Structure 1
Amino acid sequence: MKVETPVHKNDVLTVRITDLTYAAQGVAKIEHYPLFIENALPGEEVEIKVTKVNKTYGFARVTKYIKVSEDRVAVAGREFTQTGIAPLQHLAYPAQLKFKQQQIENLYQKAHLDIPVAPTLGMQNPTGYRNKAQVPVRMVHGQLTTGFYKPHSHDLVPMENFFIQDPAIDHAIVVVRDILRQFNIEPYHEEKNSGVIRHIMVRRGYYSHETMIVLITKTKKLPHAKEIVTAIQNKLPEVVSIMHNVNLKATNVILGPHSTVLAGKSTIRDTLLGLQFDISAQSFYQVNPTQAERLYRTALDQLHLTGQETVIDAYSGIGTISLLLAREAKQVYGVEIVAQAVEDAKHNAKLNHIDNAQFTLGPAEDVIQKWKDDDLKVDALVVDPPRKGLAASFIDAVAYLKPQQMIYISCNPATLARDLVRLQEAGYTAKSTRPVDMFPQTQHVESVTVLERAEK
């Protein structure tokens, strides 16, 4: 049975854009039927052509702009929209910050949460901020090429300037690309699962400028490895680490499990709020260092630590938040499920001469329940989970642990809203949320939410 909709494929319509989705698509409604339109902003009047129709929504593309939004700005390059690197680049930066605040407010409203959302903390220069790049290497027109894929495709767009990455990283990628061309290294072929070089990864310390190059290959050996290393060292004096990572599987996961040092160290060192951290190829480390400092400072300031508190840092990673907390608390307990991250956190504690932070390997919900059973008295809990948010079992563990204060650092407003409802049921009241723009020019938003346990 065919479902009748108010619009049909290939219809040409004139519409007014009323909203912007989380994926940065404009929204127009025809008899309450939503159409999602790329490169369209609220307040704009546009002529569109319908490209796809589903039962409850459709898609269209702009064929003509009749009235343009005051918040529309010239784009830095069409390729940045094509590849999804900067899907919000056509929106003026102050409007991007407002959009991110509204994303959280809208989700709270749908979840019936009455939580004030502060204005988004933005950047003075919202470009060139990323301290890490993972760039695919493929054959394009018979030549080894670096670039970025169009979303949901295997079409590589050749690029040398990535707009949101540290320009020194962009330069390093081009230098390494040219060296690989010089030695005729075969690029990876996805369909055949053949070839040699899959990705070039570059990490650069924001303060230290120490740079790491990771060559990720399909093969266990990298041809001409010694010559390639010498050429990189000659051309890029800031490089202190050249790594070879092997990924044998036909997968879209970038890094394989094994890395070896080709030259220099296995880590680079950088500074975050005055503490030093050694960062490996596999380490999770915030990609926007200046905004990471603002994010963590915002979280720390909300706890009002006096130096007498015991704090747990769930999802502690390589120890960034734990060690910052340790400077202001009596004792910090970090828990993390990745074994290498726990070892890195212990190393970073020694590096900074911090002895009041200890790190435990295991699922956070199991470990903190055990700590409660061992009669550990906890004043505050900090969580910084992945995009999927908190497991229901973790929230049960929080209710069992009963810390008086909680800080939720979120990278996904949707799972944040869901989890705040669950935490409310577990006896916690969210006081406020502060968005922090860690990823300018994109739709992604991080935030800090403060919760307190309601007195029973």
Structure 2
Amino acid sequence: APSRVKAPCPYYPECGGCQLQHINYAEQLNHKTRLVKETLSRLGNISPEIVKDTLGMDNPWHYRNKAQFQVVPQDKGMAVGFFASGTHKAVDIDNCLLQQEEINKALKALKKVISSLEIPPYNRKTGKGILRQAVLKTSSSTGEVMIILVTKGKKLPSRKRIVTGLRKNIPNLVSLVQNINNHRVKETMGPEDILLYGRPYIEERIGDLNYIVSPQAFFQVNPIQTHILYDLVLNKARLRGTEIVMDLYCGTGSIGIFTASQAARIYGIESNPSALEDARTNTRLNQINNIKLYEGKVEKILPLLTRKGVKPHVVILDPPRQGCDRQLVHQLLKTKPPKIIYVSCNPSTLARDLAILTKTSYEAVNIQPIDMFPQTSHVECVAYVRKINGD
């Protein structure tokens, strides 16, 4: 096929991280547009006409600010890399073309240190060993690096030598964290973090705003496209400064903070306590005083606020891959905000939720796919939904 190209990555397609490197980038974008149109039409009865062309990147490489490397025992030592597609076999890698350069440099240094100190890798079959994963994060605005060593139990041999070795080899390392994960299931991280060196966060910047990113908190992995995404949300909200906005599944508060200067009041709701703590810090960091944050399940807090008389003009939704809780979608039909802006990383659950919203009271006006994850099959969407007048 004319769209087929030679994948530049030596680990492709064995490594399960990318799915589309063998397709030229323009065709990747076309593929994602078609995927969104077909999924929304089939599962949500949404007209393909309202789906716009996918917004791509000028440079679709080296965009990721976070990597989650598996540490797996091998006949000789260990593999540090990504699982091969559909397996628990790790592909040992030294350089990932999706990661920002600071992460690739830190990965090389990390592999050197943990192999020289012979830190035992965790064996998923036997449950023995110590080091399960290494999660690396970087800030594209400051170049700071955070490393999270995910271990089974608190025991970490040669702890001081690990700290010394990593500090020596990674000059911009500002945060080294040990995360304890005793579960044999697939969750990446457990609830407990131990700070081994530095501070428990890195600082990121989007536009004129600063954000702290802690070990457990979710933050968008593609900072360039995140700025475009947030601008899109603002553009669709068309705020005049008098509106009440609800930021549901608000995470670290990044969208709400980005929106705050153009709204009268923002209400953010998030169930993850670590993310919400970051959201509180981020509002203080940016000296924003018109955001109120609530911890708990969105579907539980929203009705409490509406009973207190809070009537949102705009609701921003940014749920996880599984989409909105069914109860929440029905509550939105009762709350009747004039505008809903739905940020989704899964077209299937977006279609499911839009099908309920657009059955009676709402119409989907337009849907903008954004390529947050070039070279992979994933696609983000921003859907603008408005209440039908007279309902």
Give 1:333-372 correspondences, 5 Å limit: 333-372=267-306
Count of residues in Structure 1 that have an aligned counterpart in Structure 2: 388
- Which of 339, 347, 350 matches 1:413? 347
**Range with greater deviation from structure 2 (146-155 or 426-435):** 146-155
Residues 267 and 278 in structure 1, CA contact (< 8 A), matched pair in contact too: yes
Residues 316 and 335 in structure 1, CA contact (< 8 A), matched pair in contact too: yes
Deviation at 1:426, TM superposition (A): 4.2
Residues 37 and 51 in structure 2, CA contact (< 8 A), matched pair in contact too: yes
Give 1:6-405 correspondences, 5 Å limit: 69-77=1-9, 79-110=11-42, 111-114=44-47, 115-405=49-339
SS at match of 2:78: strand
Deviation at 1:145, TM superposition (A): 2.5
Distance 1:262 1:209 in 2: 20
Seq. identity, %: 34
TM-score by length of 2: 0.97
SS at match of 2:197: strand
SS at match of 1:425: coil
Distance 1:150 1:171 in 2: 22
**Range with greater deviation from structure 2 (369-378 or 228-237):** 369-378
SS at match of 1:327: helix
**Corresponding position of 1:37:** none
Deviation at 1:295, TM superposition (A): 0.9
Deviation at 1:377, TM superposition (A): 2.2
SS at match of 1:294: helix
Deviation at 1:87, TM superposition (A): 0.7
Distance 1:84 1:227 in 2: 32
Deviation at 1:167, TM superposition (A): 2.4
Distance 2:159 2:71 in 1: 17
Residues 269 and 296 in structure 2, CA contact (< 8 A), matched pair in contact too: yes
Distance 2:212 2:126 in 1: 37
Q: Which has the larger radius of gyration?
A: 1
Residues 16 and 86 in structure 2, CA contact (< 8 A), matched pair in contact too: no
- The structure that is strand-richer by fraction is 1
Deviation at 1:150, TM superposition (A): 1.1
Distance 1:226 1:127 in 2: 35
Distance 1:107 1:198 in 2: 36
Residues 51 and 366 in structure 2, CA contact (< 8 A), matched pair in contact too: yes
Distance 1:339 1:231 in 2: 33
Deviation at 1:305, TM superposition (A): 0.8
Alignment RMSD (CA, Å): 1.2
Distance 2:40 2:193 in 1: 43
Residues 346 and 358 in structure 1, CA contact (< 8 A), matched pair in contact too: no
- The structure that is helix-richer by fraction is 2
Deviation at 1:117, TM superposition (A): 0.9
Deviation at 1:234, TM superposition (A): 0.9
Deviations 1:422-450 (A, max 9, x none): 00124011100000000000110001110
Deviations 1:177-199 (A, max 9, x none): 11111112111111111111111
SS at match of 1:295: helix
Deviations 1:1-20 (A, max 9, x none): xxxxxxxxxxxxxxxxxxxx
Residues 102 and 145 in structure 2, CA contact (< 8 A), matched pair in contact too: no
Deviation at 1:320, TM superposition (A): 0.4
**Corresponding position of 1:425:** 359
Residues 396 and 426 in structure 1, CA contact (< 8 A), matched pair in contact too: no
Distance 1:90 1:128 in 2: 17
Structure 1 unaligned regions, length at least 5: 1-68
